[in-house]
Amino acid sequence: MSLREVIISTTRRVPAIPTAAARVSTLLQNRDVKISTLSRAIEHDPALAANVLRMANSVYFSGPRTVGSIKEAIMRLGTSRVSGLTLASAIAPLAGVAIKGYDLKPGDLWQHSVSAAVCVDQLIETLALEAPDYTFTAALLHDIGKIVLGTFVDVDAALIMELAFKEGVSFEEAEMRVLGISHPEVGAILLESWNLPKFVVDAVRWHQQPDEYEGDTEQMIIDLVHAADALSMVGGIGTGSDGLNYRVSKLVAERLGLNNAIAETVVLKMISGLEEVKELFGEDWGR
Amino acid sequence: MNHVIGISEMKVSNKPGDALVTYSLGSCVGVTLYDPIAGVGALLHSMLPLSKIDRRKAEARPFMFVDTGVTQMLQTVFDLGAQRSRLIVKVAGCASLLDDKKLFKIGERNYTVLRKILWKNNILITAEDVGGTISRTMHLYMADGRTTIKSGGNEKVLA
């Protein structure tokens, strides 16, 4: 078995997400899902529902008004946003641990995930784009492959680091060359096994190679996740030993209408947004 | 005691037992000031170069921006007895993505603005570890003013 095959089979053995979250992922496939159906699916798991409500009540999502129930949260924030928060709540324990290989402390990957999701919101708003709401979910999950690949990166760290930092190869390309697979691809395989919609899987799979994507998912979603990931790294939020060693696509910047001045505005709004979303982090934000 | 400086924060100390630390400097800039005679030190973690991008934000969070952040940081250490001529200044961060076309220049601009402000204040940088594509953690130990940089599991003294 090649190393690539070993990694893929390891990915398939990652524990499934809670049933309620999996049910929500399936419902997310249908964009016209009924509010009552979605709220029942979330309320099926009271702990999950409580967590979703806690997040929905952060200033960032609902302002000063309190949201009392899942149904109200869906009406106020929309189905996509609440589905995103449900998935966030389900993956938080997985993304909250220390990750070897990338030298991530507990909470780092989680902060990076949330900052990319908040950044996507700010990019959409600042650039006045008409992007689907689930882009938030795709940004939130973009680096989830690191939870599996970290162990393998750790074993071959010297070789990967050499390629990345001495030869100027982007980190995911170095993973590809040494391990036969990169963390975006591992992430896509993981999300597929959790039954996430194809457009989320595609955005995660191609977020580091946005210009190579050929498929049905809207290019804008992939571009937004690419740019949001880039600006979260610029902000240094939850970055590890891979640092900022990723290529930024000029074509994405052109397609989105993004330049350095706009990037500074978006980074500013991202940092401010993260301060309003502290409920997602507990006490550890910025630490 | 260990004091953590978050993004857009600055902390000052005059206790020899203290260590100041800031994690994950990406394109952000980390600055340490230390006066060995006064025993005063400070660490700043700024995100963006210029406060003119959002004046209101700059009033509420001056340390978010290099221009307002460094100015206020200098004032704070002077108030505690530090002297300009004795200041040891160390700088880290200002990294960038692999970005041949220079699409995002935040790291570079942070560094340029920092140099300009220190120049205007007649202060020179003693040592620095800036640029590249790495993310850095910066420590300042108040006992002796030692500044260390950690990146990807490697740690070195910045001197």
Instruction: Check if B155 contacts A (Cβ < 8 Å).
Output: no
Chain B: residue whose CA lies nearest to A168: B98
In a domain, A46, yes or no: no
- Helix residue spans in chain A (DSSP H): 3-12, 19-28, 35-43, 46-56, 59-62, 70-77, 79-95, 108-126, 135-140, 146-155, 157-161, 171-179, 183-193, 198-206, 219-234, 250-256, 260-276
What pLDDT was estimated at residue A145? Answer: 97
Contact of B60 with chain A, judged by CB distance below 8 Å, is answered with no
Rounded to whole angstroms, the Cα distance separating A253 from A268 reads: 18
pLDDT > 60? residue A282: no
- Alpha-carbon torsion, ordered A164, A166, A167, A173, to 10 deg: -10
Any domain includes A247:
yes
Count: domains in chain A = 1
Q: For residues A30 and A18, give the distance between their C-alpha atoms in angstroms, rounded to a whole number.
A: 20
Does B26 contact chain A (CB < 8 Å)?
Answer: yes
B52-68 residue pLDDT tens = 999 999 999 999 999 99
* CA dihedral sign, ordered A246, A247, A248, A249: negative
> Looking at beta carbons, which residues of chain A come within 8 Å of B92?
none
The total of other beta-carbon atoms located within 10 Å of residue A281's CB is 18
Contact between B33 and B89 under an 8 Å Cβ cutoff? The reply is: yes
Query: CB-CB: which of A165, A259, A271 is closest to B7?
Result: A271
Q: Please identify, in words, the CATH class of the domain defined by B2-157.
A: alpha beta
Domain coverage including residue A211: 3-15+100-284
Q: Please judge whether A230 and B152 are an interchain contact, meaning their C-beta atoms are less than 8 angstroms apart.
A: no
pLDDT value, residue A69: 93
Specify whether the CB–CB gap between A183 and A172 falls below 8 A.
yes
Which residues of B are marked as active site? 28
Structural domain spans, chain B: 2-157
Is A150 within a domain? Answer: yes
In a domain, A126, yes or no: yes
Q: Decide: helix, strand or coil at residue B22.
A: strand
pTM of the shown model: 0.94
Q: Which of A190, A212, A227, A234 is nearest to A90 (CA)?
A: A190
Q: Rounded to a whole number, what is the distance in Å from the CA of A286 to chain B's nearest CA? A: 5
Asked whether the beta carbons of residue A244 and residue B133 sit closer than 8 angstroms, the reply is yes
Residue A22 binned pLDDT confidence (cut-offs 50, 70, 90) = confident
- CB atoms inside a 10 Å sphere around CB A220: 18
> How far is the CA of A153 from the CAs of A19, A93, A156, A171, B19, in angstroms?
30, 21, 5, 11, 32
Please state the ipTM of this predicted complex.
0.95
Each residue of B113-125: pLDDT tens digit? Answer: 999 999 999 999 9
> Given an 8 Å threshold on Cβ–Cβ distance, is B103 in contact with A259?
yes
Cβ-count burial B95-108 (b if 16+ within 10 Å, e if not): bbbbbeeebbbbbb
Q: Are strands B29-35 and B40-46 parallel, antiparallel or unpaired?
A: antiparallel
Interface contact flag, B103 A236, Cβ < 8 Å: no
pLDDT at residue B127 above 80? Answer: yes
Between CA B44 and CA B30 the distance in angstroms is 6
Supply the CATH number for residue A125's domain: 1.10.3210.10
